[in-house]
Amino acid sequence: MATAVRERRRPASPPLWKRKSVREAVHAVIMYALLLGIGTIILMPLSWMLTAALRGPGEVVYTVPVSWFPTKSFHFENFWTVLTYKGYPLWRPLANTLYLVVLNVLGVLISNTLVAYAFARLRFPGKEFLFRIVILTMLMPGIVLMVPSFLLFNALGWYGTYLPLWVPSFFANAWSIFITRQYMRSFPRDLDDAARIDGCGYFGIYRRIILPLCKPVMTVLAVFTFQGVWNDFTGPLIYLKDAEKFTLAIALDYFRRSAFSTVSVNTTNLVMAASLISVIPMLVLYFAVQRQLIGGIASVGLKG
């Protein structure tokens, strides 16, 4: 009898759905706290760059502790100053870089989809052997090809021009061929057969059927190519000798060393403004194609 009374007085445990919801809430709080902390650490250098770029001429930038706001006012005109500076305007290398980005993106999309289409959809002798050879080239470090490539382009008379920086993109590369081929292999063969019945040839199937279905993987290729060309420092440094043809990556260093070498005041704010200008296009591109990029990477990893 006493035992029964004690059991009746014992508080009932919460139902399972309440315990599960509490665990999910705690897990969500921990995850969001971690993401917030990591995001803050990642954005701190960019935040300091922005505050340094908005400081006035001669204002101290490097302070301990860090000063996150200008002492007097925000100088947004610093961005216009570096773009139109009479000694070395930054708009010129910015335009040069955009020119190379457009050519490289076009070359990568055209050449890699064509080669991947042949490996994925066509039947010809030695296809698997040739594909293995292409994949084996991924094991070769790029630094090994630097000297032979320079000797070849120099013999062709391309040194000092943009040709070595965009012509190779029209000859495809192993990594892009691989992921595009794997994506194209996921399409059913019935699409090709139906297109042939309607009178399409190989190129018609490629243009009308395959390319519209390859938008996710083409987005991935375009974004990665944009990032690689925009941040490329070694290629322009090797092949370009005229300051008017410099791309943004090497122009920033040239801008820092020469454009303001005769200025007596501290010009770190202008250098930070120039650096921030080089970062903005990549941020805009990421936020513009964020959904397509993440979905494309996921689909490339799952298909094939």
Q: Which tens digit of pLDDT belongs to each residue from 279-289?
A: 888 888 888 88
Q: Are residue 117 and residue 28 in the same domain, yes or no?
A: no
If one counts every other C-beta atom within 10 angstroms of the C-beta of residue 59, the result is 17
pLDDT, tens digit, 9 for 90 and up, residues 5-42: 455 555 555 555 555 677 788 888 899 999 999 988 88
What's the domain range around 36? 11-76
On whether residue 34 sits in a domain, the answer given is: yes
* Cα 173 to Cα 216: distance, rounded to the nearest angstrom: 18
On whether residue 296 sits in a domain, the answer given is: yes
Q: Are residue 71 and residue 87 in the same domain, yes or no?
A: no
Domain count of the chain?
2
Q: Are residue 167 and residue 20 in the same domain, yes or no?
A: no
pLDDT, tens digit, 9 for 90 and up, residues 33-72: 999 999 888 888 888 888 888 887 777 777 777 777 776 7
**Which two structure tokens, joined as six digits, stand for 152?**
């070849």
Angle subtended by helix axes 268-288 and 215-230, to nearest 10? 170
Q: Are residue 204 and residue 249 in the same domain, yes or no?
A: yes
Per the listing, tokens 């009746």 go with: 8
Count of residues for the chain?
Answer: 304
* Cα 210 to Cα 135: distance, rounded to the nearest angstrom: 22
pLDDT, tens digit, 9 for 90 and up, residues 222-277: 999 999 999 999 999 999 988 888 999 888 887 777 655 555 456 778 888 888 88
Domain boundary among 76, 93, 109: 76
Q: Are residue 33 and residue 179 in the same domain, yes or no?
A: no
On whether residue 244 sits in a domain, the answer given is: yes
Residue 90 has pLDDT above 70, yes or no: yes
* Cα 36 to Cα 129: distance, rounded to the nearest angstrom: 49
Q: pTM of the predicted model, to two decimals?
A: 0.81
* Cα 88 to Cα 82: distance, rounded to the nearest angstrom: 8
Biggest alpha carbon distance in the chain?
104
Give the Cα-Cα-Cα angle 35, 43, 298 (nearest 5 degrees): 55
Average pLDDT over residues 182-187: 88
pLDDT, tens digit, 9 for 90 and up, residues 116-168: 999 998 888 988 999 999 999 888 888 888 999 999 999 999 999 999 999 99
* Cα 92 to Cα 274: distance, rounded to the nearest angstrom: 12
Q: Are residue 210 and residue 114 in the same domain, yes or no?
A: yes
